[in-house]
Structure formats: C-alpha cells, structure tokens
Amino acid sequence: MKPFYIKFLLLVFIINTSCEDLELQPENSTTPETFYTTVANLEAGLYGIYDALQQSGICEIPKFEGMSDNCISERNFLPDITAYAAGEKIVATGTVEDMYLDNYVLIQRANLLLDNIDDISGIIDSEREVIRAESKALRALSYMRLVYLYGGVPLLETFTDRSETLQVNRADRSTIITFVLDEFESAAAVLGNFPVADGRMTKQAVLGFRAKVLLYEARLGNISWLEALTAINRAVTEANNGGHILVDTNNPTSDYKSLFMESNEGNKEYIFSVRNSSSDPAFSYLADYSWSSGHQDMYIHQNLADAYGYADGSDYNPADDTYINRDPRLSANIMHEGLVFNGLTYDGTDNGGFVGGNSLGTVTNLFFHKFITTDYSSDFNEGELDIPLLRYADLLLMQAEALNETAGDGYTPLNLVRDRAGLPPLSGLSQDEFRDKVILERRLELALEGQRWFDLITLGIADEVINGIQEESVDIVRAFTPGRSELFPIPQTEISLNPNLTQNPGYID
C-alpha cells in the first residue's frame, strides 16, 4: 500500500464520481494551478471530496461491527480485523491501513480545494462560502473518524506534498478534537437546513456530527454532560427545522425495514448519508454479507440476535429458541431461519440459496438483512443503497442518554424510538437502569451501521463486553487488551517513511 500522499496524487485529478446527484466530474489535469481555474472545476473538486467518502477504508461500516460484539470477522478475508478483534498485537495492514490512508485521501482533496478556492473568479461569494463550508465539514468528518480510531494524528490544514509529509508530527488528541469541533461550528454558521444538491452537507448534519463528538467526549470524562446535552439539543432542533423525523406510519413490522430499502432512499430520517451507485465500493461490499451471495466476510453473532427481546418488550429467553413474536428490528437487521428472500425461505443453513451463490457462507447461520434488497442477483458485487452516517433516531438516543446523565427526563426521545418498533414505553427506571436501556437501544436500533464499536470504546465497556463474548457455534477467539485495544496502530508504512511519527501504546516491540 502506498502512503497517503502518493495515493492521493494518483487519484485527485481523475475522479469517477457516481454519487447519484453528485455527478459532476473534474477534467483531467496535472496541477492544481491548471485545474482550479473555473467555477465548474471548483464544483467538480467538491464532488471529488464527496466521492472520497466511498473509499472502502471510510465507509465499509460492517467492518467496524466485526470488532464489536455484534459480528465476527472472517480471518481469510479480513485477517487484520480478525486478529485485532482477537486481541493480537497487529501491524497496520489491509483494512486497518486503508482506514488511515483513505481518510487522508479525503483530507488532502479538501485541502487542495481550500488552498485554491479564493483564486476562482466568476463565482458568487455566498456560493464560494458554501463550498468552503462543505469542504471543511467533510474534512472534519475524516479527522473525527481518525481521532477515535488512531488517537492523535498528523493535522494537515493545507495540501501537504511528499517532502513535508516526511517531517510531520502527530498532533495531540485534544488538538484534533478542538479542530474538528471548530470546523463543524464554522460550517454550521454558513450552511442551511436544506442541501444545495441532494446528498450534500447541511447545517443539521454538521451540528449532529459535532454533537456526537461531544457525546463521546462526555462519556470519556473530558467535558461536562451539560455541554454535550446543549450541543445535542441544538442538533435536534436544527434537524427538526430541516424536516427530519422518525419514519413512523404505525406499522412496526415494515417502518424500520423500509429505511434501508432502495425505494425509500432519501427518507426524512437520514440526516447525512453516502450516496452510491452499484459500482461504488462503499456499497458493493455490503452485498458480500447477504444470503443471496452466500459469501461472508463477517458473521453475525448469535448474541446480537438474542439481544432483541419479544414484541411485548420483555427480554428474550434463549431457551425458547424462536424468532417468532420478537422485536421487529431483529428480522429487519438479521437474515435468520424462516425469513423469505426473493421468493426463497431461508432454512438456517450456512450457504446462500441462489444459483451462483458462493459456498463461503456464515458459520453462525445468520446473515445481514439490513441494507440487502430483493433487487440483488447472485453477484455479490452489486447494490446501490446509500449508507447512513447519521440518522434522526441516533440523535434522539443521544439526547435521551445526555438527559439521563444530567438528571433530566430522557424518556420522551427514548420512547419515540421504541414506539416506532412497536415496543411499550419505559418508565420508573433508576439512572443506572435507564443508562443500560438506552445503550441497549442504541445497539438494537443502530445495529450493523458501524456505531457499536465507538459506543463500546467511548463508554469504557469494551473490556467487559468483548472479553465476555461466548460464541459456542464458532471457534474464534475474541479479546480486548486494555491500554492497547482502544486504538489501532499507526500504519508502519507511514512510520518507516517519517521518523517523527510515533506508534500507539502496546504496538511497539
């Protein structure tokens, strides 16, 4: 794998954008000076930043599930994630390296645009500021991902060439957090509640991401819960102003599932998502996890299925061994025995049932159902659903958690999410009991969306949860090593090229 600055230079001037409405493509060019000379190319450069969201190291969100208690990654296909999830001291290669490098591809594309944006003539100032704000917000989103995966990382605020990257140091974690918060705040001051074009950043999106950073920091004890709650309330208000709601037609068996169907793309619950077509890497990998392909890079834990209670709100008893009368989100998220897909009833065996399906099925007899539509063929590289990075339901659960931690009443937002699933409202819980319920609700509602790992780490419960995993159906070790497993290692390719980069604790021989 090439270091990020080389990878970026190979990609930045030839960008094949396919984000549905984000279709403008930059013309071939050789230098920033010749590329950033027209308004059309400025807009194309912006779409190139959005296009970077589709890189596999940024949006292959199920791979984050394989590090959590929701899924088990497959060593033959995801050796680095599998080894990391087993508590091994790994060298950053494969996916772990991609997550670092691909985020810097986005950052460098944003830096290049921001370095040249003021040199473009013939553009209305207000339009220039919107493009600047969106570029900053997208860059902040990548730094947000990096800081919670790797800790302090090099902070590049301008386009950085090869000689400079060989000298850069890691910024302190707190410096990255402050930068991210400030960039989101700056973007929010410019952006409106409705996107300039479908799929682009809005005020409520950047405030939602900013609120999530502050939620994480409050969990970690770095800021007060009141500060986090204030930011979350602000994000919820702006989401309401932008017309975002829970998709709820009083049909629990279909409302939740409909969120992740192609026929309902652009629904009002999605605050920000990555827009895709069938050829985009950010989506095609998802079909790998469907029963239709029979090809699994990752297996769903039985304990995730067992976490879903009964439809009456009571806890599930595994001794019942049934999927009948359960929380409807179970069947919406997980393909299990008895479900019908494309006219076929899944019989609970490990391999896909379609002609041409791969023999590499799931050893837990559970497949992804979320994001998997009946439009798929047996080709596990097909599919074009958008990937949600922030939903209104997530904001409501963030609000419920923060209200509980500040001695407030978090029942209203929590019960809104439960009601959509047809579950009875909660009441009369202690603060600790409520905390447990809202964290469980996050697991059930946001399952397979790449959120669980970050919750485990920022809540400080990864050690207890991961080391407590028991999966009798598969012989795979899971372990969490405190003091090391909280972060990925910095890619060794970067450290070898730059002596100023230091490795994260626990990864040095």
- State both tokens at 477: 């070790």
Strand partners, 288: none
Q: What is the pLDDT of residues 385-439, one digit of tens each?
A: 788 999 999 999 999 999 999 999 999 999 999 999 999 999 999 999 999 999 9
Q: Give the phi and the psi of residue 150 in degrees, each rounded to 5.
A: -125, -5
Cα–Cα distance, 28 to 106 (Å, whole number): 18
Q: How far is CA 198 from CA 43, 266, 394, 438, in A?
A: 14, 8, 21, 32
Radius of gyration of the chain (CA): 22
Cα–Cα distance, 442 to 440 (Å, whole number): 5
Cα–Cα distance, 299 to 74 (Å, whole number): 7
Cα–Cα distance, 143 to 450 (Å, whole number): 17
Q: How far is CA 412 from CA 415, 425, 454, 496, in A?
A: 5, 9, 24, 52
305 within 8 A of 334, measured Cβ to Cβ = yes
- pLDDT for res 166: 85
**169 assigned to some structural domain:** yes
- pLDDT for res 30: 52
**42 assigned to some structural domain:** yes
Cα–Cα distance, 400 to 362 (Å, whole number): 35
Strand partners, 270: 391
- State both tokens at 66: 């394989």
**34 assigned to some structural domain:** yes
Cα–Cα distance, 308 to 328 (Å, whole number): 9
**134 assigned to some structural domain:** yes
Strand partners, 493: none
The pTM of the full predicted model, rounded to 2 decimals, is 0.91
Domain extent at residue 120: 10-52+92-190+487-497
Q: What is the pLDDT of residues 62-96, one digit of tens each?
A: 788 989 999 988 766 788 888 999 899 999 888 89
Cα–Cα distance, 426 to 405 (Å, whole number): 17
Strand partners, 22: 19
- pLDDT for res 10: 37
Cα–Cα distance, 220 to 222 (Å, whole number): 6
- State both tokens at 343: 């006219």
- Helix, strand, coil in percent for the chain, rounding step 5: 45, 5, 50
Q: What is the CATH number of the domain that holds 122?
A: 1.25.40.890
Q: How far is CA 235 from CA 203, 216, 243, 387, in A?
A: 9, 15, 12, 20
32 within 8 A of 116, measured Cβ to Cβ = yes
**15 assigned to some structural domain:** yes
Weakly modelled stretches of the chain, pLDDT under 50: 1-29, 282-284, 353-358, 377-378, 381
Strand partners, 507: none
**The total number of structural domains that make up the chain:** 1
**219 assigned to some structural domain:** no
- State both tokens at 363: 């050893």
Cα–Cα distance, 132 to 110 (Å, whole number): 9
**27 assigned to some structural domain:** yes
Q: Give the phi and the psi of residue 498 in degrees, each rounded to 5.
A: -125, 105
**136 assigned to some structural domain:** yes
